Amino acid sequence: ALETLAAAGDLMQVARANGCSIGAAAGLYFRLGERLSFATLATGAQNLPRDGQWPTQAALALQDDLASLQADLLASALRAAGPDGASHPDAVLARWSEQRKLALVRADRILKEDLPTGGALDLAMLSVATTELRSLV
């Protein structure tokens, strides 16, 4: 529920800009988030050490960047959906994924193979993953 509340502003803005309902945008937003491991990345960013001004600012900036990136990816997927396509989020995600097949292979390698599972993520890992995801916009 907290994740939905945090995303509400981005969802409303992206839905309005792309002429679709907030419900349709939300369905796609969360499917994209699941597909691209945003919960793992956001948790990693939240758990970064905050032992000084610079590490704290870096962690907060990364959290903001991840939120912005997920909204940008949603807008990208909605553009791929075309008119009235957002009401079928699975089909939209499949079409969007097909258009970015090679970039998704690279992103999947980083997200599913290179990042440690169950271990702590550091700033370097999260920065590389975020940069790779940015190539999908």
For 31-80, what is each residue's pLDDT tens digit? 999 999 999 999 999 999 999 999 999 999 999 999 999 999 999 999 98
pLDDT given for residue 88 in this prediction: 86
Per the CB < 8 A criterion, the answer to whether 45 and 66 are in contact is yes
Residue with tokens 């970015």: 100
Residue 32 structure tokens: 């994209």
The per-residue pLDDT for range 6-34, each reduced to its tens digit, is: 778 888 999 999 888 888 899 999 999 99
Q: What is the per-residue burial (b if ≥16 Cβ within 10 Å, else e) of 47-57?
A: ebeeeeeeeee
Q: Cα(first)–Cα(last) distance of the chain, in Å?
A: 26
- Distance CA(89)–CA(77), nearest Å, equals 9
User: pLDDT class for 118, splitting at 50, 70, 90?
Assistant: confident
The per-residue pLDDT for range 79-113, each reduced to its tens digit, is: 988 766 667 888 999 999 999 999 999 999 999 99
pLDDT given for residue 3 in this prediction: 60
Q: Residue 52 in 3-state DSSP?
A: coil
Residues in the chain, how many?
137
